[in-house]
Structure 1
Amino acid sequence: MPNSSLDRILFGEHKKPLSWKERFNIILGTARGLAYLHDKFHVCIIHRDIKSSNILLDHNFQAKIADFGLARLLPNDKSHVSTKFAGTLGYTAPEYASQGQLTKKADTYSFGVVVLEILSGRKSIDLNQPPHMQYLLEWVWSLYEENKVLELVESEEMEGYSEEEVVKVLNLALQCIQGSATNRPSMSEAVTILLSDAEIDFRKPLQPPFIDMGYQAVRPTP
Structure 2
Amino acid sequence: MLLFEILSRKKWEDGNSFAKQVWEKYQSKKLDEIIRDCGIEKGDEEKAKTLSIVALLCIEEMATDRPSMNEVVNILTDVLRPKEQQNPSSIKKEPQKPHL
- Normalising by structure 2, what TM-score? 0.71
Q: Which residue of 1 aligns with 2:97?
A: 219
Q: CA deviation at 1:179?
A: 2.7
More helix by share: 2
Unaligned runs of 5+ in 1: 1-112, 127-132
Which amino acid in 1 is paired with 2:72? A
Q: CA deviation at 1:164?
A: 2.1
For 1:134 and 1:210, the matched residues in 2 are separated by 8
1:41-96 CA deviation, whole Å, 9 max, x = no partner?
A: xxxxxxxxxxxxxxxxxxxxxxxxxxxxxxxxxxxxxxxxxxxxxxxxxxxxxxxx
Computing the radius of gyration from Cα coordinates, the structure with the larger value is 1
Q: Give the counterpart of 1:140 among 13, 22, 34.
A: 22
Q: Which residue of 1 aligns with 2:5?
A: 117
CA contact (8 A) 1:177 1:208 kept: yes
Q: Give the counterpart of 2:55 among 170, 173, 182.
A: 173
CA contact (8 A) 2:22 2:34 kept: yes
CA contact (8 A) 2:19 2:56 kept: no
SS, match of residue 43 in structure 2: coil
1:204 aligns with 2:92: no
**How do residues 95-114 of structure 1 correspond to structure 2 at under 5 angstroms?**
113-114=1-2
Q: CA deviation at 1:159?
A: 4.6
SS, match of residue 151 in structure 1: helix
**What stretches of structure 1 move > 3 A for 4+ residues in a row?**
158-161
- Normalising by structure 1, what TM-score? 0.37
Identity %: 32
For 1:123 and 1:175, the matched residues in 2 are separated by 19
CA contact (8 A) 1:175 1:184 kept: yes
CA contact (8 A) 2:60 2:88 kept: yes
For 2:88 and 2:71, the matched residues in 1 are separated by 20
CA contact (8 A) 1:140 1:152 kept: yes
Could you say which structure has the greater relative contact order, defined with CA pairs below 8 angstroms and 6 or more residues apart?
Answer: 2
Unaligned runs of 5+ in 2: none
Q: CA deviation at 1:199?
A: 6.1
SS, match of residue 135 in structure 1: helix
More strand by share: 1
1:6-44 CA deviation, whole Å, 9 max, x = no partner?
A: xxxxxxxxxxxxxxxxxxxxxxxxxxxxxxxxxxxxxxx
